[in-house]
Structure 1
Amino acid sequence: MRRGRGVLYVNDLEMGLKIPELYMAFFRAKTSGWALRDLVLRGLKIKGEELLKMGIVDVVYDGEKGVINAGMKMADDLARRKWDGEVYAE
């Protein structure tokens, strides 16, 4: 996640929509009680540093280049494993 610009925000609340169960399962698995409350009841926009503390993101990078470089490195590492992409499509 990019430091200073990236946020996690459940905009479903602003639009009056029900949050999909798949999202709720993710939020329940990755957050504590107060973080879940802030995300899905209060509708807060939570920045990268706080998401890192919550354990929702693994790393926060400075700037766009940091995010792109990390993504490319991860893609290269995964490509070297020659995994079958069909497994991830299911």
Structure 2
Amino acid sequence: MEDSYDVKISNINEQTVSLFGIFDGHGESQAAEYSNDHLFYNLMNHPQFMTDTRLAISETCQKTDSDFLEAERNTFRDDGSMALTAILIGNC
């Protein structure tokens, strides 16, 4: 399977945060699985997630990509993933 999804609902700073993601892997499934396991965790732990969400998303995507490439550096695999996400903060 090359595809996965993740749904997280949490309270951060007394606001409801809902995170939805679909990860479409290509090649093999490692990139999609890694994104599924790490992207939202990294985002919710970004120090500026609630104050500068746009910056947090950009930096988190870059960090998750870099971390995956480092983790897979010696595997010689050629897989990747597309991530489609929706992030809702507050009462939407």
**Is the structural similarity TM-score above 0.5?**
no
**In proportion to residue count, which structure has more strand?**
2
Q: What TM-score do the two structures reach when normalised by structure 1?
A: 0.29
Instruction: State the TM-score, normalizing by the size of structure 2.
Output: 0.28
Larger radius of gyration: 1
Higher helix share: 1
